[in-house]
Structure 1
Amino acid sequence: MSRRILAGGLAMATAVTLTTLPAEAERTVGFPSANFPLGNRPVPTKTMTAVSQGINLYTVKAGTHTDGYTLTFLMPNGLDYGSLATAELVAAEVEAAAGESPSLQEVIRPAVADAPAQTVYMVRVGLWPFKHKKKAEKAAEEFKEAGFKVKLDYLGDDGLKTTGPWDARVVIIDPRRFRGSYAASVGTSVAKRETVSSMVRASKALVGINGGFFNIHTSPALRGEPVGVSVVGGRLLSEAVPGRSAVVLKGRTAKITELETRVTATSQDGTKAKVDGVNRAAATDELILYTEEYGAKTPTGGTDAVLDPTGKVIRLRTSGAAVPRGTRVLHGNGVAGDWLNEHAWQDWTVAVDTKLVDLRTRRAIELTPDLHVMAGSVGLVRNGRIAITAKRDGHNSMNMILRRHPRTLLGTTKDGSLILATIDGRRPGDTIGANFVEAAQFMRWLGATQAINLDGGGSTAMVVGRKVVNRPSDGAERAIGDALLVLPT
């Protein structure tokens, strides 16, 4: 990835080198002795704390801050970058109205495994040293008062060349010594959001990290719903986004793969219907399965078939009520509601068949009580090589791929060790976070042969011994949708 100044005097670095470690560089459990993989590869400082048998917590710090601040002018679409033609127009407007000579900055977002490189342009003015942030803020206010849409940018957030610093927490679990187990948790309900700390306390877990993305685009009362697959104790609580990365947990084993869910309702008259989702809001004509873990009422404006554990229809009801304990509810509206009224009569049986398929092996995964599954957000490392699947996993954007944010990462090693890591960010001068490429490099450095990115930003949190050991960027721990827990038994 690179940046070049096409005009003006904004002096910046020119390139970042992507280092892909060969597959044969696999490591067993332990902490790497080689230099830190990011920036100019500084020697990190690290401290180790033994959490429990087979579990070690490392605090890793590396790099120093040399980045400063600049002003970035927004394009007509509200983004901070655009095509060359658009950027030239914005730059001309700034020069004509403000008398400033802005810089046109070319930014090349690197290619990833499933998307080509992208070249965009930014319009920027000024370069202030880190200690002169207030002067940069004053300049930004003057431009805003003059009618420009402008933002203050810390250059360490750009995702291009930097010296850091980085502040990370890493938990490495050795399966040969660890005698506990792994689990996923959605807290007290699917619909409700909770902190990792709350879920750790409730389960008496040794370690917890935040899970995948949750749905912020639904009703506020339902925003704990995971975006992607969730299985807790063998019960499917959220359907998969087909092909999206996930971690499959069973006992003290963890496997990263891509998954698909297939849920079908079959009436005793032999008629079948596809179940479109599990424990989420319903769109028009959708058939949705709700379990008692949902923790909210079914949508209004449809039909509910309340099923006992054997699939017997206890009753049909108008939708908009809670899921009774010990039951499941099939909800439909429109065409799906018609299907329920025609094929889910009271005292009939409607069998709900649920399949979870590993897309790497093309085999079904049995939904046993010791099975837990948590969705990731983006694949980072596959079979020992960096393979960033941003497009497939729904995050093919400049902001997600290139810019630096706090990250929560999960990886497995050749010997079956589990690596949990957080890289804090959004604290200029203290820690800058990582982009996807850097996150993948970091996990390879730690020895991961498979790795995924979980939710990040303000959601990034690691709890060890009931204490939050990283520094969430919101200033306090954020309530999230699900978490991965390391249990003592």
Structure 2
Amino acid sequence: MSASWIDCCVAHIATIAGVETAAVLRAFAAPFPRGGPPAPPEPASPGSFEALERACAPIEPAQLIEDLSLDVDRAQAELFTRRLRAVDGFLDARPSAPARVLRVGLRMRLAGILRATRPHASRVRALADYYYSHGCRLAHHDADACSPSYANALAALQWRGVVPGLHHAVLDGRFAEGPTHVNLLQVDPRRIEVRALDCRTRVDAGESFAQTVAGEGAVAATSGGFFLYSEPDIAPPSRRHDPVGLLVRDGVVAAPPVFARGALVIDRDGGVAIERVGLDGCVLQGHRGWQLRVEGAVNRAHAEVGPARRCMAIVGDHVVAVGIAPQVPLNGAVIPIGDVDVRIGDRVSCTLPPRSVAVATAMAGGPMLGDAGHPAVLTELRREDFWGTAPPVTFSQDETGDQNLLPRMVVGTRAASLIFAAVDGRNFERALGMTLAGAGALLLALGCERVLNLDGGSSKRMVLEGRTLDLPSTEVVGEGATDPAIRPVYTALCMHRR
């Protein structure tokens, strides 16, 4: 068997920042890593590593934008292209052997993605994040190796009282984990009411997140759960930016828990919990009077076609299909209905299973990052319906095993309180970002019993007293560059004085 391009890279350098080179480069070999066909054979080595470098096609931004625009809107295509080029340029500026190998890997995998069947955009987006993360580890592996861990700084955090029941602190500096910048909020829900907010109409009206928070009269706010964004098959009645998973506002289920994922749940007395909430056990009621208790709900993490019996398909509060083995909607579920008189077009309301104190606010995220004060097993994402074509595809189709350093928004329960952490990232100089496990470990180190991931990346945001606290993270920032781009926030958790 002839040597592959990966063999050529391994012969050039065996490890990259302490990780086996082959392990780094094997990612993104398959066009559809979970549930798709096997990866094609790796291209052969041209001989020397220098010949391989010369053979790697440069990134052509105009061509890449046109290609990605067939999957997503042009603004997203341009953004993903800019991120990829920023990472490519960062690696190109470093003449070391590991950086050269990473750059070859980035370009080889990009070429493979563009040769494969669509969609391409979600894979290119993930590719940029993956090679950004390994580039960060490489750049800071030696520079920060002797620095203390940020865990040593947590005990010395200076918490500032904002209003009764709400405190703020910042973790900032160069640590063994690299440059770190994290804003933290400690919230007592018995004194601070935490409300879920659907921000879509405010975004459409041109408001910034800070303006929306001010309009709500909130002292502070964070971004919330996932929403549809770069999925390739968004179809009516779903729309881009629709919430993904459970959202309860003022005791009313605004979006049903079609995915059984971790959620932040707050009751009317201010009691807090982080737990998995799904459709099974919920009661659905149609506007014409029918009612049923859900059993055996199927979503896109399970299958793309429902069971071979009479079912309905729901998206949001609408029945979109009735029949045998209907298609499973992207952001919905298929539910067996027996002989219940359900019709296409019926409007549906959802009631969560009864609790001792009624739920006032709930926001789905996932995965859960900690339980009983211990790290969760992040390799079991399937347990929380992150699989197949379930949105967000960046989680469901991520085969990298939690290697990516990204901006994160996480929340943890500590006794009767909540701690929110807004982890900045995509900044080579000030804030690399964290893995999911790293973000979870941060809150566990602060004494949280349970920890939940909320929507991170460019959507991560924290506002306090009218001021946005985050470093920008939509673009990849480095070498003294600035980043004016801010992605809107579509769901949020707002904090009000009781």
TM-score normalised by the chain length of structure 2: 0.55
Task: Give runs of aligned pairs for residues 173-184 of structure 1, distance below 5 A.
Answer: 173-174=187-188, 179-184=191-196
Alpha-carbon offset, residue 376 of structure 1: 1.4
Q: Percent identity?
A: 21
2:16 maps to 1:12: yes
Paired amino acid for 1:254:
V
- Which amino acid counterpart does residue 215 of structure 1 have in structure 2? L
Which residue matches 2:93?
A: 132
- Name the structure 2 match of 1:286: 312
| Matched-pair contact (CA < 8 Å) for 1:165–1:429 | yes
Which whole-Å deviations, capped at 9, do the CAs of 1:50-96 have from their partners, x for residues lacking one?
xxxxxxxxxxxxxxxxxxxxx9698664589xxxx979943625749
Task: Give the secondary-structure state (helix, strand or coil) at the position aligned to 2:11.
Answer: coil
State the partner residue of 1:215.
228
Deviations 1:212-255 (A, max 9, x none): 11122324972232211111111111111453100012354321
1:432 aligned onto 2:441: no
Return the offset for 1:200.
1.1
Query: Using the alignment, how far apart are the partners of 2:133 and 2:293 within structure 1?
Result: 53
CA contact (8 A) 2:266 2:273 kept: yes
Aligned partner of residue 90 in structure 1, secondary structure: coil
1:19-418 superposed matches below 5 A: 77=30, 89-90=42-43, 92-93=45-46, 95=48, 98=51, 132-133=93-94, 153-154=131-132, 156=134, 162=141, 163=144, 164-174=178-188, 179-187=191-199, 196-216=209-229, 217=231, 218-219=234-235, 222-250=239-267, 251-261=269-279, 262-265=282-285, 286=312, 288=314, 339-340=341-342, 354-357=350-353, 364-365=354-355, 368=358, 371-389=360-378, 390-391=380-381, 392-393=383-384, 394=386, 395=395, 397-399=398-400, 401-414=402-415, 416-418=416-418
User: Compared with structure 1, are the counterparts of its residues 427 and 72 closer, same or farther at alpha carbon in structure 2 (3 Å cutoff)?
Assistant: farther
Helix, strand or coil for the counterpart of 1:426? coil
Task: Quote the offset at 1:167 in angstroms.
Answer: 1.1
Paired position in structure 1 for 2:490: 481
Code of the aligned partner of 2:351:
K
Classify 1:195/1:78 alpha carbon distance in 2 versus 1 (closer, same or farther; 3 Å).
farther
Question: Aligned equivalents of 1:231 and 1:91: distance in 2?
Answer: 53
Shift in alpha-carbon separation, 1:460–1:366, aligned structure 2, 3 A? same
Q: Contact conserved, 1:382 with 1:450, CA < 8 A, in 2? A: yes
Distance 2:54 2:240 in 1: 45
Task: Give, in whole Å, the separation in 2 of the partners of 1:446 and 1:244.
Answer: 24
Q: Kindly state the Cα deviation for residue 447 of structure 1 after the two structures are TM-superposed.
A: 1.6
Gaps of 5+ in 1: 17-70, 103-126, 278-282, 292-297, 303-331, 345-349, 358-363
Deviation at 1:383? 0.8
**Residue 171 and residue 341 in structure 1: after superposition, are their counterparts in 2 closer, same or farther (change >3 A)?**
closer
Show CA shifts across 1:123-156 (max 9, x none): xxxx99979359979x969x969x9669884455
- Structure 2 distance, partners of 1:94, 1:196, is 53
Distance 1:367 1:95, change over 3 A: farther
Q: d(CA) in 2 for partners of 1:208 and 1:478?
A: 16
Q: Residue by residue, what CA displacement relative to the aligned partner does 1:143-181 show, whole Å, maximum 9, x if unpaired?
A: 969x96698844555779944111111111246xx7331
How far apart, in 1, do the equivalents of 2:414 and 2:25 lie?
A: 41
Structure 2 unmatched runs, 5+: 1-6, 56-87, 114-126, 145-177, 299-304, 323-333, 387-394, 475-483
Conserved in 1, the CA contact under 8 Å of 2:31 and 2:39?
A: no
Structure with higher strand content: 1
Does the 8 Å CA contact 2:200/2:490 hold for their aligned counterparts?
no
Shift of 1:437: 1.6
Cα distance 1:367–1:13, how it changes in 2: closer, same or farther (>3 A)? same
Return closer, same or farther for 1:227/1:94 CA change in 2, 3 Å cut-off.
Answer: farther
Q: Greater relative contact order: 1 or 2 (C-alpha under 8 angstroms, separation 6 or more)? A: 1
Count of residue pairs brought into register by the alignment: 350
Give deviations 1:28-54, integer Å, cap 9, x for gaps.
Answer: xxxxxxxxxxxxxxxxxxxxxxxxxxx
- Contact 1:196–1:483 (8 Å) recurs in 2: no
1:207 offset after TM fit, Å? 1.1
RMSD after superposition: 5.3
